[in-house]
Amino acid sequence: MNKELLDPSYMRRAIELALTAKGHTNPNPLVGAVIVKDGRVIGEGCHQKYGDLHAERNAIKSLNESAEGATIYVTLEPCCHYGKQPPCTLAIVEAGISRVVIGSRDPNPLVSGKGTAYLREHGIEVIEDYLRDECDEINPVFFHYISRKEPYVALKYAMTADGRIATDKGSSKWITGESARSYVHELRSTYTGILAGIGTVLADDPLLTCRIPGGRNPVRIVMDSHLNIPLDCNLVKTADQGTVIVACLDEYTKGNDQISKVEKLKSLGVQVLGISPDSKGEHICVKDLLKKLGNIQIDGILVEGGKHINAAFLSAGKVNKIYTFVGNKIVGGKGAFTPVDEMGIEEMKDSVELSNPKVRTFDTDILIEYDVENL
């Protein structure tokens, strides 16, 4: 049977389907699939939720006719292992599909080339790397996490047009307008975790939830080296409604005078994570924190910290993305309320380089989204 020419619009439809599950598949990837026969879409689907059916199986399930001889466009190499779900390659073979067009390669060591090999061994034509860049773009978090087992880190901050995150007095409400702030809630629902510092908790008593309809609340993580979190703050009070993790120095979790506070927090539903100290011994070590968050399947975090936390993550070389919101305001001042604290960089050549800028506007505010180069 003659195969029709490949058509990018089918893969773009698969990408669109994949993105509808944003925030619900972690730590699994976003994946979409479209089945085409005789120039018509006869089935489509996506991976909707972690642990549920994979995209290919959902597309096959949606069929109202035989897929014998059809082409499936799938944004990620089909899996060939038994995990929470059986292999997609098996379903593709059983459905009689004769051509598989793949966007991204799957770096998961359980799949990584084995999926395509299995399909070819079963006489199926496989085309790889089709619109690969576009497909890769939807899963930066998955690609990072599956190979490193630690979360992808996105820093977010809002500054005035003169680069301030607050006035000299510390006033910061609000730098950006409503629509930019509502986009932050969208971001909160796409990253598995949100991280703030104890300073923010003490100053603002935030909930750190996602407040848009249909949004998913992130796991809330507080960097609190010396376990200063008040037992009656909003985060602790709502720990039974959504995960709250307090990351403190290891010593506080190991039999000193704070141990009773650790026990109290735990009894209120808060998870306490002991982290080793940084090189100065005063604060928790960012690298150890990420390793431990990775161990509990947190694949990505949105860091909404202040200048100290931003500097700590950047200095550790552990930032993958930066969301810089620029509000249409100027406050001036002498204080050092800028987004990133001192990092010991003296020469411009030693700066942290950002790449791939993408710019969006929200009313009178701007968002610049960067990838971070020098990890």
Give the residue with the Cβ less far from Zn ion, 55 or 293.
Answer: 55
Which tokens belong to 224? 């609190």
Residues designated catalytic:
56
Side-chain-facing half-sphere of 269: CA atoms under 13 Å: 14
When binding is defined by CB under 6 A, the residue of 17, 21, 23, 28 that contacts ligand AOF is 28
- Choose which of 76, 79, 101, 285 interacts with Zn ion (CB under 5 A): 79
Among positions 31, 34, 35, 322, the unique one binding ligand AOF when judged by CB under 6 A? 31
Q: How far apart are CA 260 and CA 347, in angstroms?
A: 47
DSSP for 94-156 reads HTT--EEEEEE----TTTTTHHHHHHHHTT-EEE--TTHHHHHTT-HHHHHHHHHSS-EEEEE
The partner in contact with residue 106, picked from ligand AOF, Zn ion, none with C-beta cut-offs of 5 to 8 angstroms by kind, is ligand AOF
| 56 touching ligand AOF, by CB under 6 A | yes
With CB under 5 A as the contact rule, the residue among 30, 34, 72, 88 that binds Zn ion is 88
Considering only the stretches 106-114, 325-333, 339-347, 363-371, report the one whose residues sit in contact with ligand AOF under the rule CB under 6 A. Answer: 106-114
Question: How many positions of this chain bind Zn ion (CB under 5 A)?
Answer: 3
Of 47, 99, 283, 292, which lies in the binding site for ligand AOF, with binding defined by CB under 6 A? Answer: 47
Contacts of 70 (CB under 8 A, 6+ apart): 35, 36, 37, 42, 95, 96, 97, 98, 99
Work out how close the CB of 350 gets to Zn ion at its nearest, in angstroms, rounded to a whole number: 44
Q: Minimum distance from CB of 104 to Zn ion (Å)?
A: 13
CA triplet 190, 290, 27: central angle to 5 degrees?
Answer: 40
203, 188, 204, 199: which is closest to 222 by C-alpha? 199
Q: Which of residues 76-105 bind ligand AOF (CB under 6 A)?
A: 76, 78-79, 83-85, 88
- Give the total residue count for the chain: 375
Site residues for Zn ion, window 34-73 (CB under 5 A)?
54
Q: Are the C-beta atoms of 135 and 15 separated by less than 8 Å? A: yes
Site for ligand AOF in 144-173 (CB under 6 A): 146
CB of 62 to ligand AOF, least distance (A): 14
Which DSSP string corresponds to 334-374? Answer: SS---SS------SGGGSPPEEEEEEEEETTEEEEEEEE--
Compute the distance between CA of residue 29 and CA of residue 148 in angstroms, rounded to an integer. Answer: 15
Closer residue to ligand AOF in complex, CB, 137/342: 137
User: Smallest gap, in angstroms, from Cβ of residue 53 to ligand AOF?
Assistant: 8
Give how far Cα 186 sits from Cα of 180, 181, 199, Å. Answer: 10, 9, 24
Instruction: Choose one: 24-32, 169-177, 216-224, 337-345; the region binding ligand AOF (CB under 6 A).
Output: 24-32
| Contact by Cβ (8 Å): 341, 361 | no
- Using CB under 6 A, list all residues that contact ligand AOF: 28-29, 31, 47, 54-56, 76, 78-79, 83-85, 88, 106, 108, 111, 146
By CB under 5 A, name the binding residues for Zn ion.
54, 79, 88
